[in-house]
Structure formats: C-alpha cells, structure tokens
Amino acid sequence: MDIMYAAVDSREVDEQPSYEINLYMYLYFVIFIIFGSFFTLNLFIGVIIDNFNQQKKKIRKDIFMTEEQKKYYNAMKKLGSKKPVKPIPRPSVCNHTHRHHSRCLLHSRIQTAE
C-alpha cells in the first residue's frame, strides 16, 4: 500500500511529491491487483487440473469408481446410445386432403428431427 500511496503522490522527475496529485494511479493499482490475482489464480488452478488429467491418463482407469460402479456405468452408456424405434401412428382423418398430406409427411424418405 505504501508503494501505491507514493505513486499517487508522485509528480514529474525532480519535483517534490504532492498529496494525491496523480489520482489515476489508484485505478492503475486496482486494475493491476485484480488482473494479477485472477491470472495467478487461473494459472494455479490450471496447473492442478492439468496434473490431475495427466495422472488420470497414467492410470487409465476411473479412480473414483468401484468395479460394480464401472459395470453399471458401462451398461448405462450402452443403453443410452440406443434409441427406441416406434412407429408413428397414422391419424384417422376423414378428409381426403388431410389423408394425402399425412401420407406424404409420414413417408420413409422424410427424416424426423431429433
């Protein structure tokens, strides 16, 4: 804090300091402290996460799961990748135009959005 106060009181070279003559130095130090702390914290956390990922690649296992949990997880992953296929029921409409449009829309060449 003493350095910040000295910078705020500073003037040109070979001039005596004056009380709070350079107020922009407050802004400079606040921005410097905020960005400096975020950069340091981000760097520290990045190193920790990178080290964790390297250790996980070395082990090549899920270190936080038991064997039963791994089996269950793999089974759920296999089940989750399969989609059930059920036919879309045709609407029961009386109008010939509606019947024609529904037949065109339900044709196998038209893909549904998922």
The structure tokens listed for 62 are: 């899920």
| pLDDT 10s digits, 66-95 | 889 889 988 888 888 777 677 666 666 667
Q: Is 13 helix (H, G, I), strand (E, B) or coil?
A: coil
The overall pTM is greater than 0.95: no
| pLDDT 10s digits, 10-59 | 888 888 888 888 888 889 999 998 988 899 999 999 999 999 988 877 77
DSSP for 37-101, please give it: HHHHHHHHHHHHHHHHHHHHHHHTS-TT--HHHHHHHHHHHHHHH-----PPPPP----HHHHHH
The structure tokens listed for 70 are: 């791994």
In the chain, domain spans: 2-84
